[in-house]
Amino acid sequence: MDRRKGLPSPADKVVTTMNIYKKKRIIILFLLPAVLGMAVFVYYPLIQSLWNSLFEWNLFSSDKSWVGLENYRSIFTDGNIWITLRNNVLYAVISVICQVLIAMVLAACLEEVFMRKFQPFFRTILFLPSLISMTVVAILWKAIFNPNTGLLNAFIHAIGFTDITPQWIGDANIAIFCCIFISQWQGMGYCMLLDLIGIQKIPAELYEAARIDGAGTVKRFFYITLPMGKESMLVTSLIIVIGSFKLFTEIQVLTGGGPGRATEVLATAMYRAAFTNDKMGLGSAYAILIFVITMILSLIQLKVSRSGQE
């Protein structure tokens, strides 16, 4: 009937839809907005930053003088770069330990039968900090770290250590750990929640079978939870390590890179070069350095994780 009337049958419709995917022009049309967006907002600034890093220039003057790789040389001959890189690496390592490993352990604990009753309570408590803006978190902890009036030293004194008064963010040796700590305080709950969802997706039969075979809590964690959650942990650690090299807010608000340059990281060094010291070329060179480091790390992690499918 349909054919006689010249109307397409349902089978024809499928064929027509399939044909759309075969037409190159249609494919290009659909891809164009995304490709254009990437080109304008990602690749163009990237290339421009690379080009800019080869000049000495500032924002308020049109003069640009070619200096070649001089900006890169000055980054690596400045004694502070190694402290800066050490701080970024410290942040990455501690963040992976806390937000990938410890968060997974926490999630597994909350998923245990005896904790199920309290799970919503702990989930909320641990997740709440990640809803607060990092600037607010940093200001809050600045008050807590205040060695004279802050809660932390008051607590230390209250439990009997009256002769210990750490300077926290005022002490060059401790300050970076304070900055790293507040990030973990904020980020762990979020990662734990992601892990919790991951664990809940693991088929219950696996745990049941393990239990029948006599596996205890610890064994179930190592032989089921960890292998099954490996993929999501790799993705989380990828995001965390890349984020570690873009670290800015915590440091800028809490210590401004001080005391001295003890808590400087790549992004604060970039900001200082570009906007405080009016060296946009040097700032661009720092940006390229951050890009190269994060790019290499991303490639390594994708290679190691084999897939990156999830």
Q: Is 255 in the site for other proteins (CB under 8 A)?
A: yes
Q: Is 291 in the site for other proteins (CB under 8 A)?
A: yes
3-state secondary structure of 23: coil
What are residue 66's DSSP bridge partners?
A: 55
Residue from 29, 46, 154, 304 touching other proteins (CB under 8 A): that is 46
Residue from 55, 122, 223, 248 touching other proteins (CB under 8 A): that is 248
Q: Which of these segments, 48-56, 89-97, 113-121, 199-207, binds other proteins (CB under 8 A)?
A: 48-56
Distance of alpha carbon 226 from alpha carbon 228, whole angstroms: 5
- Which ranges of 146-265 would DSSP assign to H, the alpha helix? 151-158, 175-201, 204-212, 217-220, 226-244, 249-254
Could you write out the DSSP letters of every residue in 238-306? HHHHHHHTT--HHHHHHTTT-STTTT--HHHHHHIIIIIS--HHHHHHHHHHHHHHHHHHHHHHHHHTT
Q: Which of these segments, 24-32, 37-45, 116-124, 227-235, binds other proteins (CB under 8 A)?
A: 37-45
Q: Is 63 in the site for other proteins (CB under 8 A)?
A: yes
Largest separation between any pair of C-alpha atoms in the chain = 98
**CB nearer other proteins, residue 30 or residue 41:** 41
Q: Is 244 in the site for other proteins (CB under 8 A)?
A: no
Q: Which residues of 182-210 are buried (b: 16+ CB within 10 A; e: fewer)?
A: bbbbbbbbbbbbbbbebbeeeeeeebeee
Q: Which of these segments, 12-20, 122-130, 199-207, 241-249, binds other proteins (CB under 8 A)?
A: 241-249
Q: Is 67 in the site for other proteins (CB under 8 A)?
A: no
**CB nearer other proteins, residue 231 or residue 278:** 278
**Contacting positions for other proteins (CB under 8 A):** 38, 41-43, 45-46, 48-49, 52, 58-63, 142, 145-149, 165, 167-172, 242, 245-246, 248, 255-261, 267, 270-272, 274-278, 280, 283-284, 286-288, 290-291, 294-295, 298-299, 302, 308
